[in-house]
Amino acid sequence: MRIGELSRRTGVPVPTIKYYVREGLLPAGELSSPNQASYGPGHERRLRLIRALLEVGGLSLAAIGEVLSAVDDKEQPVHKLLGVVANRLVPGGAGEEDEETDLAREEVARLIEARGWNTSASSPAGEALAGALAALARVGHADFASVLDVYADAAERVAAADLAYVGRRGAAREGMVESVVVGTVLGDAMLASLRRLAQTDASSRTYGRS
Amino acid sequence: MRIGELSRRTGVPVPTIKYYVREGLLPAGELSSPNQASYGPGHERRLRLIRALLEVGGLSLAAIGEVLSAVDDKEQPVHKLLGVVANRLVPGGAGEEDEETDLAREEVARLIEARGWNTSASSPAGEALAGALAALARVGHADFASVLDVYADAAERVAAADLAYVGRRGAAREGMVESVVVGTVLGDAMLASLRRLAQTDASSRTYGRS
């Protein structure tokens, strides 16, 4: 197809497509005549992936470049590829260096070991969890961490459903990455709003008459 | 205590305390002499609540004013008070008005009815959920909604733990509101990072050898 049709099918304007090609995010089309390039389904899929990373994942073009390199590096096993993506989608780390953060990091390491999770406390997600626990301690709510196990149980169930979804969407590397981005970012939003709805319900049952 | 000690105990600078008093967020101290005011534990508690709403909840001073009115209005039942807070802590609504949003709203209403949740699809959290579902549909991942029930189960468990925590922290209205703010906002961060950690673990089990 010509660049105009690629633009129409993906909703990405022609100048933007040309920009992605110049930046090396999208392979150039195949020259069918000296001044006309032809694009195929691979270009369309790649464009949709870029859009998902950009609009849904909120990634910078530099970060998108990194993710795409991992997608294209077929030596990179799927698990490592999904790890690159997941780590790109974690906002901020622990942020501060204080006693609360040190204690929180130890707590994260203990949790990961107790659960037998094959992951590391020093990963971006581990650091983000330590950051949240340290922030709780700083506002005098360290004991909110008592709910950590319930949260971790819930996270395990949700993650299993996420992975099953990624598997159902098929085994193409680009499709998997897109599913992970979309599911991770929009899944967070879904989970947060469901938690509010369930809290409202639980609160009305507990305090409805007070 | 004098304003200097109140400042030291809460970490809030004296000019900021004076500003909160002028804005009506904090009651004025009791005049112990013509140019000296005295502050008590009630002021300290209120200041900590303002700080939690501001720094942890990310609320505007106007929104904080609304929450504090609900705290002070003893006619307002606890359940309604917690509802005011929860609704203030939901970022954005569905945002757009299109076919995807209409369909998503219907799906949210069905979910709430099926779960028997005592809450409304048109609440801010219901609208936020519809927004996430509509965004999934727009990027061609409408079928991610197939995990909705697993997410809703997880949200119910987490919400029950949240409410139990609020109850454990005691029955004072200010303390409850603080617990809800802290638990809601930092709880979202905790849950999101735990989900990433659990995903990494699940992914290594599923794709570790591919």
Q: Do B210 and A77 touch (CB under 8 A)?
A: yes
Predicted TM-score of the model (pTM):
0.81
* Residue A41 maps to a domain: yes
Contacts of A206 in chain B (CB under 8 A): 79, 163, 167
Beta carbon pairs, A and B, within 8 Å: 302
What integer pLDDT is reported at residue A75 of this predicted model?
87
- B199–A163 C-beta distance less than 8 A: yes
Interface confidence, given as ipTM, is: 0.81
Same domain, B56 and B145: no
- The count of domains in chain B is 2
- Which element (helix H / strand E) includes A188? helix A173-207
**Is the distance from CB of B186 to CB of A136 less than 8 angstroms?**
yes
Which domain range does residue A14 map to?
A: 3-74
Predicted confidence at residue B146, as pLDDT, reads: 86
Give per-10-residue mean pLDDT for chain A (210 aa).
Answer: 93 93 93 89 89 80 88 85 79 69 94 94 90 84 88 95 86 81 84 90 79
From the CA of B35, how many Å to the nearest CA of chain A? 32
Structure tokens at A126: 């581990």
Say if residue A55 is in the same domain as residue A127.
no
Inter-chain residue contact B200 with A123, CB threshold 8 Å: yes
CB within 8 A of B102, min separation 6: which ones? Answer: none
CB contact under 8 A, B154 and A86: no
Q: What is residue A22's predicted lDDT score, i.e. its pLDDT?
A: 94
Residues of A in contact with B159 (CB under 8 A): 195, 198-199, 201-202
CA gyration radius, chain A: 21
Residues of chain B with pLDDT under 50: none
- Chain A's closest residue to B118, CA to CA, is A201
For residue range B15-35, list pLDDT tens digits in order. 999 999 999 999 999 998 888
pLDDT of residue A210: 53
Integer Cα distance of B147 and A187 in angstroms: 9
A80 falls within a domain: no
Q: Quick check: is A26 in a domain?
A: yes
